[in-house]
Amino acid sequence: MPWMTGYPREKINWGPTIDQEKCVSCGICMNCGKNVFEWKEGKPVVADYHQCVVGCSTCGNLCMTKAISFPPLEPVLEIYKNEGIWAKVKKALIEAGKISE
């Protein structure tokens, strides 16, 4: 499902940042289903920032030392509002048979 239906993902500032001083290399972030992270020299690094699903912060929520942070969500919500993305996503969900009208 395209969360940013009709809007280029690379224009959205959404993705994780790792504070390597806080990171204890537990590996929980490596469970990311979008493969945003890579393991290098015993630590995770953000390998593909724009693969992160806009609005997702599961890795940050599960990080035991709160080493993973995200930008504020408000600018993303402004883009949703200004670009009519909520309606576009709903239309795409209806067309895909995931929800009904």
* pLDDT tens digits along 62-92: 999 999 999 999 999 999 999 999 999 999 8
Of 53, 74, 77, nearest to 3 (Cα)? Answer: 53
Q: Is the pLDDT of residue 56 over 90?
A: yes
**Can you give the pLDDT at residue 6?**
83
Domain residues of the chain, as ranges?
10-70, 72-101
Q: Which CATH number fits domain 10-70: 3.30.70.20, 3.40.190.100, 3.40.50.300, 3.40.50.2300?
A: 3.30.70.20
pLDDT band at 98 (very low <50, low <70, confident <90, very high): very high
| Band of pLDDT at residue 2, cut at 50, 70 and 90 | low
pLDDT (mean) for 10-20? 96
